[in-house]
Amino acid sequence: MTHQQIIDYCLQKPCTYADFPFGPEITVLKLKAPSQEKGRIFTQVFMLHGHEAVTVNCTPASAVFFREIYQGAVTRGWHCPPVLQPHFNTVMLDGRVPDGEIFSMIDHAYEVVSAKLPKYLQRELQEAAGVF
């Protein structure tokens, strides 16, 4: 799996866009309901020690689950402050984690972020996605 495949997959989700708040070397995928001013991060793609990696938002329980299943390939959010590390996983894109599992992690990240939005913004997302 490549960075571009991840970016393309994320941008197919309703109300998502790419941003570069940390500079051009890190592509940040955000979710933003139509009436929001700023989006919320659900996925980030970047190079880590010369290798492609992705960081995904998650719940603390799912974070631990994936870290245990894919030891060494999935770690705490590499660049996140310690207080946020339980809510982010960094996945090395070196083949140790199957592509389908990475897509599932991205889906989960999108769901986690959208579930944290106020109900009225969640309704906006559903309307934008054509889900009523």
Domains recognised in the chain with CATH numbers? 3-123 (3.90.1150.30)
pTM, full prediction: 0.91
Pairing between β-strand 74-76 and β-strand 27-31 as defined by DSSP bridges:
unpaired
pLDDT, tens digit, 9 for 90 and up, residues 44-76: 999 999 999 999 999 999 999 999 999 999 998
pLDDT, tens digit, 9 for 90 and up, residues 83-107: 677 789 999 999 999 999 999 999 9
- Distance CA(45)–CA(63), nearest Å, equals 17
